[in-house]
Structure 1
């Protein structure tokens, strides 16, 4: 082989290797986030950010997956299948008590955005959490945030865990069906399901945690909920990617506070409306007060969450939780 042929061959090999390397880099650059029910309004910032093009504006390739129960989304992250979870901040505290460190890097909601709905059939006799005794209560999944909050309300009402039955029924249409089919007497869900049940007369609101004031009354303070949480180790080793994610989400939170519910709804997939856009807009209007305006963790919020979990979770109470490791404001502070 002459020198020219050898050089050309080596150049081709180098180009092929570079192409393979580039392909690997591109694949590695995809960030996959698991959302605890992507059509739930409490997690709307995830899909809205994607649809507004803010991930792409930051040069990110973000893939959103949906898992109806937040606890299952959490498990996917712990297994390494996804890089982060759009879910409730309280999982960061619960997981630390189990020796696993994850942190909220941007906070979407200052309150749960959850509603305890009583079936129309049970509403005559079920008028407060004290009436949970002997009842079957729906949650999205065992170990989910809806499970945590339900247990706390029952505990505060003087009930023990065995006084009532917790039934995992998922969210959205499966929750609605559980009310319709009398599988549960009451349950905790989010919009748009909550508004749909009330509008149809099939359910009544028992506890509304979509607004700061009633939430503080029930839980003792603001209860930061929907967030993007990720393993601390991944955050530390992927600082630039996390900063870009937070930049995109902070931009979305500002968008949500400068546009009407109808304008926001216009950005969402039409199948999220459930065939009734006006009802979806109404549900969105009811939930908008739950969201932060800038992605920042509310002051004293983490302490409220810790206090709530500690009342009925001995493992959390005994763990000496370091709240500073469960969230960070550094990326929000540095956001564009």
Structure 2
């Protein structure tokens, strides 16, 4: 009898928690005036590798598909996936490899549009250290910048070093974020080398503060560095959301396929002019250069190539602490689907 009150209090607390978090159920997509309200977290809105997200909004592709979409910026893909898992957002524009990493943790995420077959990442080395760091084999004893631990840049850094025969104990991974924090880390001896994207790459190379060590903005460089394709920028969602709302997922796929086609048929100058003016900042020519240097990474069709997915699993199976112990039970087919993109190609342009 004496436990009845504490039990009742606990039950009430649990019930209140369920009610409070019910609105964040990832399977439930808010509606307003009959239009889905979608929040997409992007692993760096200003990064060229994720340009299709803001470009889709600028082109009116979401509105044309009867969607109200809010884009949120987050510099780390690892943080973005957390927001997705907690139901704070309905989708993420980030790297495909997170779907495999999360499956290893018994979470189901699925890429529904694949933007790129290569990472679009560059390993930069500080000009001061460029003579001593000529290949990933020279990473021993060095401080290497990554967006955050557990991010895609972290996976790729371990892969580059691992294929050179190094383990994580041979070097130090340092969280430096992206953009100005990455630049500050390299310019103030916080890191000796690091992985980042355009427009940061263009800024540091133009200033003379860094040199390119490994370039994965194109297929040739990616195959040389990683032994094959490495599908990266994508739109991914929780599997139960995809299953519960296929009609909304289709509308998102329609919007992004339209955007990828547009990229494929327009110049870097035209793309830069369509993006928000603040993205170019005080140096529009540098922004155009950053787009030109990276734009070849986008595949133009939104489809996942099975060869690429297999290579991502191979690399994570060797270098990811989460995936390596369970790589043989990863269900790769559950990590992506081409069905919505294929349907988008059949439908009239939206």
Q: What's the TM-score once normalised by structure 2's chain length?
A: 0.88
1:170 aligns with 2:177: yes
- Are 1:26 and 2:45 an aligned pair? no
CA contact (8 A) 2:56 2:256 kept: yes
Q: 1:116 aligns with which of 116, 123, 127?
A: 123
In 2, distance between residues paired with 1:314 and 1:87?
Answer: 20
Give 1:151-162 correspondences, 5 Å limit.
151-162=158-169
1:331 alignment partner, one of 325, 332, 340: 340
Secondary structure of 1:170 counterpart = coil
Task: Give the counterpart of 1:218 among 225, 228, 239.
Answer: 225
**How many residue pairs align between the two structures?**
313
Query: Please, what TM-score do these two structures have when normalized by structure 1?
Result: 0.91
Distance 1:312 1:260 in 2: 37
Residues 127 and 247 of structure 1: CA distance in aligned 2, closer, same or farther (over 3 Å): same
Unaligned runs of 5+ in 1: 1-23
Deviations 1:196-233 (A, max 9, x none): 10011000000000000110111111100000010010
Paired position in structure 1 for 2:235: 228
Runs of 4+ in 1 over 6 A off after TM superposition: none
**Displacement of 1:274 after TM fit?**
3.1
Give 1:1-336 correspondences, 5 Å limit: 25-26=31-32, 29-319=36-326, 320-335=329-344, 336=347
Distance in 2, matches of 1:269 and 1:29, equals 24
Distance 1:127 1:260 in 2: 33
Q: Distance in 2 between matches of 1:108 and 1:213?
A: 18
Q: Supply the distance in 2 between the matched residues of 1:155 and 1:61 (Cα, whole angstroms).
A: 43
Q: Choose 293-302 or 42-51, whichever is displaced more.
A: 293-302
Partner of 1:19: none
Q: How many Å separate the matches in 2 of 1:134 and 1:314? A: 21
Kept in 1: contact 2:31–2:37 (CA 8 A): no
Secondary structure, aligned partner of 1:318: helix
CA-based RMSD of the aligned residues comes to: 1.1
The alpha carbon displacement at 1:270 in A equals 1.4
1:214-254 deviations in whole A, cap 9, x for unaligned?
A: 10111111100000010010000011110000000000000
